């Protein structure tokens, strides 16, 4: 006997998601629609949607084990860049955000190193998760990345690692947290600091140069938390990590085209190789 879609989805995802709290497998029900609306409101009001305990503890523990097992395959990157990931503009003042340099250092384990049965890969390859994220973002269609390196990565931030303030090139970002660092490693963002109509260079400068804190928000990052936010317009960072325990998370990549891939330059920068 064929299972109804909701029941089949539950069987596939029950070990990967707390479906009692987050019914992403049943979005057409009253409860599912109410859940999506709550996420939309959170995203609209706060610039981010955070779902603590989205991944159950057993699956989180397995992801930490996988991260440590694969750490030797991680690509180490340590670079300076502007908040726009562009070449510094030497025609503007040093304090201008187009010239201001920040540092990012991390260890990234590419998608093609992840065994097929690891929780984050099974979760990412679920149509139910893709449909849920599309529904919250108001997208008619959303696609998983076609990039064999960048579709899902595991990132480890060890002592001294950080992500400098930056804007994403993509409209939104989706992250899943597995382990907090011993200290530091806070994810901080400034929702709506710029817009399609206004780059707000002066506002960006005050955060970078003056250390202005007004408007800056710390995103909760307990293990198992799924979060998504508008990274193109919300400048964000991961503060420097200290202590022996690394910060471990994944970035899940989606887009509105089915053929999304990194260009060779970006792939070389993030993973030390290309997919060709």
Q: The whole model's pTM is what?
A: 0.91
What would the pLDDT profile of 205-236 be if each residue is shown by its tens digit? Answer: 999 999 999 999 999 889 999 999 998 999 99
Structure tokens, 137: 């973002």
Q: Estimate the share of the chain in helix, then strand, then coil, as percent rounded to the nearest 5.
A: 30, 25, 45
Burial of 116 per CB tally in 10 Å (0-12, 13-18, 19+): exposed
Q: Give residues with Cβ within 8 angstroms of 128, minimum separation 6.
A: 9, 12, 13, 24, 25
Return the percentage of the chain with pLDDT > 90, whole number.
75
What would the pLDDT profile of 244-275 be if each residue is shown by its tens digit? Answer: 999 999 999 998 888 878 777 677 777 778 77
What would the pLDDT profile of 110-150 be if each residue is shown by its tens digit? Answer: 999 999 999 999 999 999 999 999 999 999 999 999 888 88
CA of 181: how far to CAs of 76, 119, 157, 240, in Å?
Answer: 18, 21, 8, 10
- Local structure of 186: helix, strand or coil: coil
Nearest to 113 by CA among 59, 156, 150: 150
CA dihedral 59, 139, 254, 146 (to 10 degrees): 120
Please count the other Cβ atoms lying within 10 Å of the Cβ belonging to residue 34: 11
Nearest to 16 by CA among 153, 173, 108, 129: 129
Mean pLDDT of 173-182: 96
Strand-pair partners of 183: 242
Q: Give residues with Cβ within 8 angstroms of 228, minimum separation 6.
A: 43, 48, 49, 133, 136, 137, 172, 173, 174, 175
What backbone torsions phi and psi does residue 187 show, to the nearest 5 degrees?
-90, 120
Q: Give domain 5-271's CATH superfamily.
A: q2cbj1_9rhob like domain (2.60.120.620)
Strands 163-166 and 241-242: unpaired
Nearest to 236 by CA among 209, 208, 262: 208
- Per-residue pLDDT band for 1 (boundaries 50, 70, 90) equals very low
Q: Provide the residue count of the chain.
A: 276
What backbone torsions phi and psi does residue 179 show, to the nearest 5 degrees?
-150, 130
């Amino acid at each position: 006997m064929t299972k109804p879609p909701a029941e089949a989805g539950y069987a596939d995802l029950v070990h990967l998601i707390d479906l009692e709290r987050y019914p992403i497998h049943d979005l057409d029900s009253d409860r599912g629609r109410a859940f999506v609306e709550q996420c939309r409101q959170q995203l609209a009001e706060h610039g981010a949607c955070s779902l603590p305990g989205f991944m159950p503890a057993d699956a989180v523990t397995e992801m930490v084990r996988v991260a440590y097992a694969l750490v030797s395959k991680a690509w180490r990157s340590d670079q300076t860049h502007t908040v726009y990931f562009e070449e510094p503009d030497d025609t503007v003042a040093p304090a201008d955000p187009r010239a201001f340099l920040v540092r990012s250092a991390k260890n990234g384990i590419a998608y093609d190193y992840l065994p097929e049965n690891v929780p984050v890969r099974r979760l990412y390859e679920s149509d139910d998760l893709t449909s849920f994220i599309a529904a919250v973002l108001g997208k008619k269609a959303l696609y998983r990345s076609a990039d064999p390196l960048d579709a899902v990565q595991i990132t480890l931030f060890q002592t001294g690692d950080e992500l400098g303030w930056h804007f994403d090139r993509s409209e939104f970002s989706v992250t899943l947290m597995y382990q907090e660092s011993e200290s530091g490693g806070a994810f901080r963002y400034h929702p709506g600091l710029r817009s399609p109509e206004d780059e707000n260079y002066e506002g960006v400068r005050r955060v970078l140069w003056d250390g202005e804190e007004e408007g800056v928000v710390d995103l909760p990052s307990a293990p198992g938390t799924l979060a998504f936010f508008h990274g193109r317009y919300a400048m964000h960072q991961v503060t420097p990590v200290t202590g022996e325990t690394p910060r471990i998370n994944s970035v899940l990549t989606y887009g509105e085209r089915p053929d999304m891939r990194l260009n060779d330059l970006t792939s070389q920068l993030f993973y030390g190789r290309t997919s060709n």
